[in-house]
């Protein structure tokens, strides 16, 4: 373990040196860089001289691996070395620097910097700093180049129909993917930096004419208040800036799909992307978004509606099945159809545990298998399913450790949970809570738990917007994109309270063919 104080003192000395004015001497500047990047083997300081005039001595300072070597060689090193400056005996270094910037270097993105700390930031960020002996200033040349993952179909949000591009870890690439879908200067990208040590680039993205200024300001305020030393994924920020920090439900949306992100922007939402994470955040987030898949908007609305209703039913079943089963079998046996009760009773015979213990046992085993399946390499994934299905399912029933109906209950629960990958976390928590309620109070407890869940959901707010927006509304426009998906020609308004700044999406009821 490193001593945190030592790290602090080190950065302090760096700050002291960087605040000094820039020296005109190339050697001195290079030495300062070496001191600051002490013990960093990736720093490169390349001193070059013009082949025709050896008075022109320059140095390139960059971090290896963050730069495009070929670009540096062809765009900077070669032209500077070979350019015929035809200098007189005495020359002004500032003029020379100006000529180099304007006439010699082939790279387009160049900024002039006179501050040492600016130069350090530039080098760390992958820029190439160009200094000229005798001139107290520098050029930051953008010859960045590093490996990124290619643009692939996102694994978490697959779609049979629809765009297959997904975000990757490069912020700029991700912004490009968004920009390509909205060719309109109305789309804004506002950059800032978060993380006192990691200095991660963060970009807030929104449509100026659609996004609510209140929500935008709220997001900026919350981001400004974030105090953290590093940010590796938007998950950090989502947890830091979310409403209702103790609720198991997600209060901020996240997506890996540029098309999904753009559709949120077009509803008036604000997005947040960071360097190094393929997951973009969207605020505000409402409950029905948990059931929405981007594919819903690309396929026929009847089928999309059916799929959504399935997902809602799946979520309901996944929290209800174990609790309802336990309540019915241990309290309200009179509500079970006679023949079903007989088969449950005979299956439960000689099973040693009470029904609720059985349920907890099997649900835990299912979650263990799920977690194991998610963590292990694909090559041994099959082994997990074999162990799960055969050894634990079949054998446990044969050995009368659990009853067969319970395996069905747990299997159904598991499958219905998988219908809603976004909700799987909250569903597990709610399911456990309902199970406990049902165990103590039977059917009454189960319904009491459901009631509590609804009250909790109704009390949630995300960035000032009610979490259950549109749920239970009696206005037809409000429910057109909730548990059902209305046809596009009928969704002429944006969701109320989110796109309030400009509600009208399109002329009402206009179809293409008329």
Partner 1 sequence: MRVAARKSLALSLALILLLLLPGCWNYTEVDDMSIVAGVALDKAKDGKLQLTAEMVDIQNGLEQQSQAGFKMISLSGNTIFDIARNMISMTGKKLFWSHAKSIIFSEELAREGLIPYIDWYSRDTETRSDVFIFVSEEKNARDVLNLNSTTESVMSFELAQLMRDEKFVAGAPVVEIWDFIDKLEVSGQSAVAPLIHVHELNGHKNERVEGTAVFDKDKMVGKLDGKESKAMLFVKNKISEGVLEVEDRTGKPAYSLEILSSRTEVRPVLREGDITIHLSTVTKTGLDEVMNTGGMTQHESLKDIEKRAGEKLRQDMLSVIHKVQREYHADIFGFGAAVHRKMPKQWKQIREHWSDIFTDLEVTVDAKVIIESTAKTSRALKLGD
Binding site for partner 1 (CB under 8 A): 329-331, 333-334, 338, 341-342, 344-351, 354-355, 440-445, 448
By CB atoms closer than 10 A (0-12, 13-18, 19+), residue 54 is: exposed
How far apart are CB 442 and partner 1 at their closest, in Å?
4
Locate 96 and state its tokens: 């020379």
Shortest separation between residue 444's beta carbon and partner 1, angstroms: 5
Runs of H (alpha helix) within 293-387: 301-330, 338-348, 355-375, 381-386
Comparison of 122 and 351: residue with beta carbon closer to partner 1: 351
Least distance between partner 1 and beta carbon 392 (Å): 22
- The 3-class SS string of 200-215 reads EEEEEEEECCCCCHHH
Structure tokens at 440: 């103590």
Q: How many CB atoms lie within 10 A of CB 179?
A: 15
State in angstroms the smallest separation of the CB of 431 from partner 1: 20
Task: Choose between 269 and 348: whose C-beta lies nearer to partner 1.
Answer: 348
Q: Which is nearer to partner 1, 257 or 348 (CB)?
A: 348
Find the DSSP H helices in 389-423.
395-398, 404-418
Q: Which string of DSSP letters, residue by residue, matches 453-508?
A: HHHHHHH-EETTEETTTTTT--SGGGGTBTTSB--GGG--BPPTTTSTTS-B-SST
Nearer to partner 1, 349 or 474 (CB): 349
Task: Kindly state the smallest distance separating residue 185's Cβ from partner 1, in Å.
Answer: 52
Instruction: Give the Cα separation of 359 and 22 in Å (integer).
Output: 71
Alpha-carbon gap, residue 260 to 54, rounded angstroms: 57
Our CB check for partner 1 shows the closer of 50 and 355 to be: 355
**For residues 29 and 22, what is the distance between their CA atoms, to the nearest angstrom?**
7
**3-state SS record for 274-301:** ECCCCCEEEECCCHHHHHCCHHHHCCCH
Q: Which is nearer to partner 1, 26 or 344 (CB)?
A: 344
Q: How far is the CB of 335 from partner 1 (least distance, A)?
A: 9
Toward partner 1, which CB reaches closer, 349 or 399? 349
Specify the DSSP element, H or E, that contains 43: strand 43-49
Beta carbon nearer to partner 1, 125 or 442: 442
What does the alpha-carbon distance between residue 465 and residue 462 come to, in Å, rounded to a whole number?
5
CB of 323 to partner 1, least distance (A): 14
Least distance to partner 1 from the beta carbon of 350, Å?
A: 8
Tokens (6 digits) for 308: 């959504």
Question: Which CB, 403 or 420, lies closer to partner 1?
Answer: 403
Nearer to partner 1, 143 or 438 (CB): 438
How far apart CA 139 and CA 48 sit, in angstroms, is: 15
Structure tokens at 259: 């098309």
C-beta of 242: minimal distance to partner 1 in Å? Answer: 24
CB of 409 to partner 1, least distance (A): 14
Element spanning 17, H or E: helix 4-19
Residues 6+ apart with CB under 8 A from 239: 245
């Amino acid at each position: 373990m490193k001593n945190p104080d030592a790290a602090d003192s080190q950065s302090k000395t760096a700050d002291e040196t960087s605040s000094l004015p820039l020296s005109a001497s190339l050697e001195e500047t290079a030495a300062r860089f070496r001191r600051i990047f002490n013990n960093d083997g990736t720093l490169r300081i390349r001193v070059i001289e013009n082949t025709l005039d050896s008075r022109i001595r320059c140095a390139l300072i960059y971090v290896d691996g963050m730069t495009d070597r070929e670009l540096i060689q062809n765009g900077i090193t070669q032209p500077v070395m070979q350019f015929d400056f035809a200098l007189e005996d005495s020359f002004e270094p500032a003029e020379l620097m100006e000529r180099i910037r304007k006439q010699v270097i082939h790279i387009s993105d160049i900024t002039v910097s006179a501050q040492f700390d600016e130069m350090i930031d530039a080098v760390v960020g992958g820029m190439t700093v160009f200094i000229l002996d005798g001139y107290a200033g520098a050029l930051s040349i953008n010859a960045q180049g590093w490996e990124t993952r290619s643009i692939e179909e996102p694994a978490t949000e697959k779609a049979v129909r629809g765009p297959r591009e997904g975000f990757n870890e490069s912020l700029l690439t991700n912004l490009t993917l968004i920009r390509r879908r909205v060719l309109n200067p109305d789309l804004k990208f506002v950059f800032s930096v978060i993380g006192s040590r990691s200095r991660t680039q963060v970009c807030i993205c929104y449509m100026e004419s659609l996004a609510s200024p209140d929500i935008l300001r709220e997001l900026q305020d919350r981001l400004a208040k974030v105090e953290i030393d590093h940010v590796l994924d938007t998950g950090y920020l989502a947890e830091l800036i979310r409403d209702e920090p103790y609720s198991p439900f997600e209060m901020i949306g996240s997506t890996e799909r540029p098309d999904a992100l753009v559709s949120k922007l077009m509803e008036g939402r604000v997005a947040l992307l960071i360097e190094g994470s393929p997951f973009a955040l969207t605020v505000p987030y409402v409950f029905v978004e948990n059931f929405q898949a981007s594919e819903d908007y690309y396929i026929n609305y009847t089928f999309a509606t059916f799929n959504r209703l399935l997902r809602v039913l799946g979520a309901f079943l996944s929290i209800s099945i174990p609790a309802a089963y336990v309540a019915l079998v241990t309290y309200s046996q009179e509500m079970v159809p006679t023949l079903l009760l007989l088969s449950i009773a005979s299956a439960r015979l000689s099973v040693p545990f009470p029904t609720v213990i059985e349920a907890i046992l099997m649900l835990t085993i299912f979650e263990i298998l799920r977690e194991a399946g998610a963590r292990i390499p694909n090559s041994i994934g099959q082994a997990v399913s074999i162990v799960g299905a055969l050894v634990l399912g079949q054998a446990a029933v044969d050995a009368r450790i659990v009853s067969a109906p319970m395996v069905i209950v747990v299997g159904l629960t598991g499958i219905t949970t998988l219908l809603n990958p976004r909700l799987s976390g909250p569903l597990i928590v709610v399911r456990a809570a309902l199970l406990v309620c049902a165990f103590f109070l039977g059917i009454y407890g189960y319904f009491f738990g459901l009631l509590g869940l609804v009250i909790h959901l109704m009390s949630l707010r995300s960035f000032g917007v009610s979490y259950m927006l549109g749920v239970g509304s009696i206005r037809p426009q409000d429910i057109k994109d909730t548990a059902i998906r209305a046809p596009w020609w009928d969704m002429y308004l944006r969701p109320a309270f989110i796109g309030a700044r400009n509600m009208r999406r399109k002329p009402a009821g206009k179809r293409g063919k008329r």
